A and B are shown apart, each in its own frame.
Chain A
Amino acid sequence: MREPAWRIFAAEYNDASHVIQSKEEKAPKYVITPLGAKVNRLFIVGVLTDIEEIGAEGIRRRARISDPTGIHVVYAEAFKPEIASILADMPIPSYIAIVGKARIYEPEEGVLYLSARAEMAKEVSIKERNYWIIEACRSMLIRINAIRDAMNMKSPTASQLKELGYPPLVAEGVAEALKIYKDIDLHHYEIMAREALSFITSARKEIRQNYEEEEQKLLKIIEELQGEEGAAWDAVIGKAGEEGIERSIVEEVIASLMEKGQIYEPQLGKLKVV
């Protein structure tokens, strides 16, 4: 059977600390994540942020791919020169799709470095990236539900979870995860999913635009409204709306002004120019 390619967020994958392999000859290795993904192959779509040559020959390459939760590390190995050259030709940043096998490096007992060894690489568009985020979230929610169901069982087994209609790999992965991970923080992952989805719902522009004009306008608005205590967030948004700036852009610009240190929050919900 060909191993399916898990759509999995970097944060969940990198949180994994457990690998299983059955005793049979040439049996595949699986990474078991805290939410019970049983990963041998991955499908990753994200933003290519960095690529470096590694090894003496300079044929191998290591790429970093950013998703809404963290960074996936991907290797293009020497025996896949076509993948290494696709990566080398790709602009940074750009949206990239990777199919890869789980690459497991355990330099010593208890220390696990997880990454992917690329089998396929291709530049894609924001459309495929957003589709991937949705698939990754959906798959994560199924596992969160499976873990909840399993926690209600006396001694959960893979076959019981299959009876409930979970796909076999999910059932097996979740049963395994519950054995090895203590106190799985589902809430933490739910927040992660929510943040990832907000990438899509908050209608970010395709590529971060230059908001200089809006920044100037907003600085002026805040200055006008701030008085002693600072300008109320809602008032700023209202005023900006009157001047034709969309709410989602206002939020983005405020975040960027704060990052640059041009405005600050003297108290929660109030903004002041520095």
Chain B
Amino acid sequence: MEIEIEEAINEILESVDVDRETVEKDLRKFLEYGVPLEHAKEAVINKYGSVVKEKKLKDVRVNERNICVVAKILAIDEREVEVRGERRKIYRGLLGDETAVLPFTAWKDFGLQKGDVIKIRNASSSEWEGQPRLSLSEWSEVEKVDYEIDLVKRVPKKYNLIDLKPGLSNVEARGKILSIEERVVSIGGEERKVFSGIIADETAKVRFTSWHDFGLKEGDVIKIKGGYVRKWRGAPQLIFDENSEVEKMDEEVIMEEIVVPLYKVVEAGGGISLTIQGVILDVRKDSGIIFRCPKCNRRIRNGVCEEDGEVEGVADLRIRALLDDGTGAVDVIFNREISEKLLGKNMEEYLRIAKEAMDYSIVYEEIFDKLAGKPIKVKGDSMPSDFIVTIFASHAEMAEIDEKKEAEELLMQLEG
């Protein structure tokens, strides 16, 4: 019992601003009256009113309420989400103090800026990626303070490029620069050089942007410490700047084609030069023969382009299919050339068939028939899309497997 009382006292002290002796005296009095410990604890807290004490970020646990911290905003992003059918803006980012860095979500606009040091009252926490995430709600109070605070020195976490997903920060990654180009952008009237290109390791290719001139050139193999990841053009992008460390490595990167499980593609929100494999579980209804505007190339309906009015449409063949590998699902778009290859018929033949039948849906039915339920291997880049990660295929082939060999390999694994 004594141990439990000790624990209870410690817990009470976390939420009230009274000395230990007083708390102990009060608590024991309640217990003498036969009040159960749990109730006695609450009664003491209620007596003094819960004065919430400031915490360090490292002491924040998952699923806590009424959290008070002073921290610096290290990164902040605005995004729109749908909550109960209503679109609203939320803010996500990172908070740091001298003990830790934690992600946060603000459910309303507190006017926060990167670099602000703020005091937060009445925040709560939930779990995200195995660590606590602070949540600032309608009922939280946020106040800017005018002093600086120290930040914890964080060891960056190592990632393979395939595991980079938007929102990560303090990333360590390594790869070979496949292409790089320089451009000048003006930020707040100030001209800055930025370097963008593609970096690759054994697992993936990723777009990158460097906000600092590290003297990088094509073919360099580099290690980046302290980068972060944002979404750009429907794919993750690795970003680093003057606060990051970039080191040239004396080694080669050998790239092999790896089939990426689709859950990783979904988690990353896309990617470039992806190789994926799955079964086509649906063919979207907008697949088949479509007509495009000769001026803007947009799809037109009933001879009318939204942009250019009445036009003579140009026929095109395209397929949008749902690809699923059991771990995740993406949409894949096949252009005319790839579609013709997969279907084994060219567009002219389909046009003729459709005209004979006086029905374009016959083309859809044939596509469904030929592709649905079949395994397929696809290479391509993701493109921006709202609902589901969408891969624009640069190459596709029906997947053939040696079923007996695969079955025997699995049997070997089972013998283990």
Whether B185 is near chain A, meaning CB under 8 Å from some CB there, is no
Q: Which residues of B contact A6 (CB under 8 A)?
A: 326
A4-B325, A99-B281 given as contacts; is B414 within 8 A of A194 (CB)?
yes
A124-B373, A169-B263 given as contacts; is B414 within 8 A of A134 (CB)?
no
- The digit string for B374-416, where 1 denotes a CB below 8 A from any CB of A, is 1100000000000010000000000001011011101101100
- The digit string for A43-74, where 1 denotes a CB below 8 A from any CB of B, is 10100000000000000000000000000000
Whether B293 is near chain A, meaning CB under 8 Å from some CB there, is no
- The digit string for B99-136, where 1 denotes a CB below 8 A from any CB of A, is 00000000000000000000000000001011000000
Of B263, B410, B413, the residue contacting A167 (CB under 8 A) is: B263
Q: Give the docked Cα–Cα distance between A128 and B401 (Å).
A: 10
CB B102 to nearest CB in A, in angstroms, measures 15
Q: Which residues of B contact A1 (CB under 8 A)?
A: 266
Q: Give the docked Cα–Cα distance between A162 and B408 (Å).
A: 28
Whether B69 is near chain A, meaning CB under 8 Å from some CB there, is no
Q: Which residues of A contact B22 (CB under 8 A)?
A: none
Contacting A at CB under 8 A, from B320-335, are 322, 324-329
Q: Is the CB of B372 within 8 A of A122?
A: yes
Q: Give the docked Cα–Cα distance between A50 and B388 (Å).
A: 35
Whether B87 is near chain A, meaning CB under 8 Å from some CB there, is no
- The digit string for A188-205, where 1 denotes a CB below 8 A from any CB of B, is 001001100100110100
CB A239 to nearest CB in B, in angstroms, measures 27
Whether B261 is near chain A, meaning CB under 8 Å from some CB there, is yes
Contacting B at CB under 8 A, from A1-37, are 1-7, 25
Q: Is the CB of A5 within 8 A of B329?
A: yes
Q: Is the CB of A120 within 8 A of B326?
A: no
Give the dominant DSSP class at A's interface.
helix
A4-B262, A5-B281 given as contacts; is B329 within 8 A of A131 (CB)?
no
Q: Is the CB of A4 within 8 A of B404?
A: no
Nearest neighbor of B413 in chain A, beta-carbon distance: A141
Q: Is the CB of A43 within 8 A of B266?
A: no
Whether B79 is near chain A, meaning CB under 8 Å from some CB there, is no
Whether B84 is near chain A, meaning CB under 8 Å from some CB there, is yes
* Most chain A beta carbons < 10 A, residue from B129, B324, B372, B373: B373
Whether B282 is near chain A, meaning CB under 8 Å from some CB there, is yes
Of B129, B374, B410, the residue contacting A159 (CB under 8 A) is: B129
Q: Is the CB of B373 within 8 A of A159?
A: no
Whether B279 is near chain A, meaning CB under 8 Å from some CB there, is yes
Of A4, A128, A193, A194, the residue contacting B373 (CB under 8 A) is: A128
Q: Is the CB of B263 within 8 A of A190?
A: no
* Most chain A beta carbons < 10 A, residue from B262, B372, B410: B410
Q: Is the CB of A201 within 8 A of B326?
A: no
A138-B410, A167-B327, A201-B411 given as contacts; is B263 within 8 A of A4 (CB)?
yes
* A interface list, Cβ under 8 A from B: 1-7, 25, 43, 45, 97, 99, 119-120, 122, 124, 127-128, 130-131, 133-135, 137-139, 141, 157, 159-160, 162-163, 167-170, 190, 193-194, 197, 200-201, 203
